[in-house]
Structure 1
């Protein structure tokens, strides 16, 4: 008798929506390309900031807005994007997000001034916030089986993770050869190809929720609360006390109003039961910490290599590859581990490795920046390895805890946690380390950040115990399924 694997319980409608394996593979590639582009724009702009400042006459505050306008828009709008995707359909919001991202990219490339560029970057972030949860939900619908879904998410994470090394390298090459505007203009043809691919390949999996009204109050208040929180940290880190106070008031007021609105909403954007689920909160807490430490370390490492070491943007980007390459290579491995053992094992291993590697920041000294890279290297490598093991597992754990029909919300919440972590990491780590042109203070700040990083990774390690381990029966069923399908075409898993 065939064991009751998750694959055997998939409904015929969902199997038919998934489509044949070749079609699914091409569709997955298209969605991965879109995700790569969205994440690429997080890192590619950093190397272009000096050229943008000279061309548009933007000062430090304006350049900060160019970077943070994108991250804050994504973080603030992802929850609404996830809820909207569940409501109107994941395919529709994926297309809308890609289109908005492409149009905003053209506006960025043609921006006449810093204000126009910051506004266009925020619209880019809004497009990304629509695309991310919808595309994740489409992948989950195409690969409904637990094991195959984990492998698909591993491929998605592996492809998207290559945006980390590609951003500084591609950005440096474009800025040096064609000018900073091309880091945005290059998005347009890629987005057009991705839109065409979704239109031709992706079927509507029929996951839209009907009946209850859309939670409009929640969709307006969540961006205000999250954006206010992020801007509070950013402003405080730059010593702008008045701006930080105003942003904090906005964050608190909007957060309180959001909580009241969610309790009264007929169909709340963020169901209370989801927030009371320990596994869901644990997975998203780990995601937030992962991005906070990773992007914080990446920020101060870039300062050390460029501002203090006098290296070019392209050279500094190449020196960051020990963090980026393991992440990209190990994300599919993390997916296979998650498929076989569940998410807890790769989460425990990844957080422990990253915590141990961050201790190497204590070896970075102020005497010689030429030798500081040797002390920085173990931290970069350990975080890359740890993140590679974590990234797929943490997405899979968050998606599995979502109730039926709320996959878009789960994907949006997970990406929100990661983007909030990114913004907070850059603000906090940059504030503690200060300017790399002051070697003694910078080295002292890195030593403090070493202990902060270790403490955060240990907290993430503790949160892994909220993520349920697979039962012995589930492990036996998964093993039986793998044996029965070994050497068989994956098309039989439609």
Structure 2
């Protein structure tokens, strides 16, 4: 009976689907979301001086987006499954574009942070819907490997264009254009999605969406990040920090309890975590997200505040890192036919950890060629090797009616990892630098952050080794067919 239901749901999703146009539309959406993340990072120093952000407050330009994005992704995935992936993706694109316009018009730190939070809400609707469409359109075989490889390459290329465009726009047009650039992207994505994706019929669901669970998850994560970020002012053992973290943990525990007992449609069916592939991929992505955020943040600041580069030059110097991710993603497609995704995660995670460790040697009197280029190439190729395999592992074997939930959960763990990792590593780097703004103090702080990122990636490799199930050996006939 269950298999019949799953099969019928799969037919509903696939009915009228046009794989080529669906892949194109999803790719444009992912390009826009990826570009938005990196284009803002390169503009951070000018944003800080233009709106008067403090050193710690500046991180909330990243946190506001990552927290609403990550915290609401599960709800976004569930709503997309319930009301239709195409419909939810179109609504999310509209909100994302509007928030980008408001962000570009911001005149105070709070206004920009609020706009970034609204962007995160839009992205939380767009990302799981798009990824669910991709997963259901390409359910298996070589076409799935190819589709997810293209998705990860577009993800990386969006980041590459973002760092270059962010530097040029910030220096020659003003930091506001790192927000305005999303407007034509959102318009193009809306047009492609409207014309290129067939309207899908939502799967039947019992109960209403679990809004309480979404509120508890987002509030708990936000409070957890807030408590960590403020340890530069309130030590870990201070009553303020302890109370903040205890309340955050209580909210997250309440979220888990709600998911176990709610009569509504829960954000997460906790039974999904009984699947080692789903659980392991999400833990890996949590760690991966924290490490990758540290590279985007610390290396961008090192290039401008320590080496003295302009935004345009720093964007160009960051380009090898993003191109390396594209190369790694391309290699993941090429070798994805021959090697299990688990093995790709182990290899890619190890390369990335080595690159981050090399970044940890950055010096105050360093140079781009010695301290940035080499580790950029090594770390970025490793990151690229991990993207598509992690998505494939997390969504493979999941029933079509839970595709949006699974993809939303994976994106959520990555964004939560990015926010929590940046909060912890950013606070540690600020503590190492102290109140000094000298190149020596700043580089010491950034180097500590990158070294900690390397340690996080090592833990991720261990998760891939010991949590993810070993691949089942297939015979020659199955290999040729799959």
TM-score by length of 2: 0.88
Confirm or deny that 1:387 pairs with 2:379: no
Alpha carbons 2:306, 2:443 under 8 Å: kept: no
Partner of 1:487: none
Where do 1:363-402 residues align within 5 Å? 363-366=361-364, 368-370=365-367, 373-402=369-398
> What is the CA distance between 1:62 and its match in structure 2?
4.9
**C-alpha distance in 2 between matches for 1:195 and 1:111:** 25
Q: In 1, are the aligned partners of 2:350 and 2:461 still within 8 Å (CA)?
A: yes
Distance apart, 1:98 and its partner CA: 0.5
Label 1:50 to 1:404 Cα distance change in 2 as closer, same or farther (>3 A). Answer: closer
Instruction: Report the CA distance shift for 1:89/1:238 in structure 2 as closer, same or farther (over 3 A).
Output: farther
The answer as to whether partners of 1:147 and 1:340 remain within 8 angstroms in 2 is: no
Contact 1:351 1:390 in 2 (8 A): yes
| Equivalent in 6, 11, 21 of residue 26 of structure 1 | 21
* Deviation readout 1:407-449 (Å, 9 max, x if unpaired): 1111111111111222233223333333484455555556655
**Per-residue deviation, 1:155:** 0.5
Aligned partners of 2:234 and 2:377: how far apart in 1? 32
8 Å contact from structure 2 (residues 170, 311) kept in 1? no
Q: Which has the larger displacement, 353-362 or 26-35? A: 353-362
Match of 2:63 in 1: 68
Alignment equivalent of 1:254, drawn from 251, 254, 267: 251
Cα deviation per residue 1:93-126 (whole Å; 9 max; x = unaligned)? 1111111101111211223433222212111110
Mapped to 1, the partners of 2:206 and 2:426 lie a distance apart of 47
1:120 aligns with 2:115: yes
For 2:313 and 2:337, locate their aligned partners in 1 and report how far apart those are by CA, in whole Å: 37
Deviation at 1:138, TM superposition (A): 0.7
Greater CA drift, 422-431 or 273-282: 422-431
Structure 2 residue aligned with 1:276: 274
Is the 1:66–1:117 contact (alpha carbons within 8 Å) kept by the matching residues of 2? yes
The answer to which of 430-439 and 178-187 deviates more is 430-439
Could you say which residue in structure 2 is the equivalent of 1:148?
A: 143
Matched-pair contact (CA < 8 Å) for 1:300–1:433: no
- 1:261 and 1:247 map into 2 onto residues whose CA distance is 21
2:346 is matched with which residue: 331, 345, 348? 348
Task: Single out whichever of 444-453 and 283-292 deviates more from structure 2.
Answer: 444-453
The whole-number CA distance in structure 1 between the counterparts of 2:462 and 2:281 is 11
After superposition, the Cα gap between the structure-2 partners of 1:201 and 1:43, relative to the gap in structure 1 and judged at 3 Å, is same
Question: 2:4 — aligned with what?
Answer: none
Relative to structure 1, the CA distance from residue 54 to residue 299 in structure 2 (aligned partners, 3 Å threshold; closer, same or farther) is closer
Structure 1, 390-399 or 56-65: larger mean CA deviation: 56-65
Change (3 A) 1:264 1:189: same
The answer to whether the Cα contact below 8 Å between 2:170 and 2:312 also exists between their aligned partners in 1 is: no
**Change over 3 Å in CA distance of 1:121–1:355 after alignment to 2:** closer
What is the TM-score normalised by the length of structure 1?
0.86
Distance 2:339 2:183 in 1: 40
**Inter-partner Cα distance in structure 1 for 2:469 and 2:200:** 28
Aligned residues: 468
Distance 1:112 1:437, change over 3 A: closer
Partner of 1:198: 193
Q: Secondary structure at the match of 1:369?
A: coil
In 1, Cα distance between equivalents of 2:298 and 2:177: 26
Gaps of 5+ in 1: 1-7, 482-494
**How much does 1:295 deviate?**
2.0
Residue in 1 that maps onto 2:283: 285
Distance in 1 between the 2:109 and 2:452 partners?
34
Measure how far apart 1:173 and its partner are: 1.4
- Whole-angstrom CA distance in 2 between matches of 1:156 and 1:480: 23
Contact 1:305 1:316 in 2 (8 A): yes
Q: Give the conservation status (yes or no) of the 8 Å contact 1:93–1:134.
A: yes
In 1, the alpha carbon distance for the partners of 2:21 and 2:214 equals: 33
Partner of 1:299: 297
Deviations 1:460-490 (A, max 9, x none): 1221133234423377424135xxxxxxxxx
RMSD: 2.8
Equivalence for 1:264: 261
Change over 3 Å in CA distance of 1:328–1:242 after alignment to 2: farther
Secondary structure of 2:401's aligned partner:
coil
- Secondary structure in 1 matching 2:43: helix
Partner of 2:461: 461
Cα distance change, pair 239–159 in 1 and its aligned pair in 2 (3 A): farther
The equivalent of 1:225 in structure 2 is 220
Structure 1 match to 2:312:
314
Structure 1 distance, partners of 2:70, 2:201, is 27
Give the SS at the match of 1:213.
coil
8 Å Cα contact 1:151/1:339 also seen in 2? no
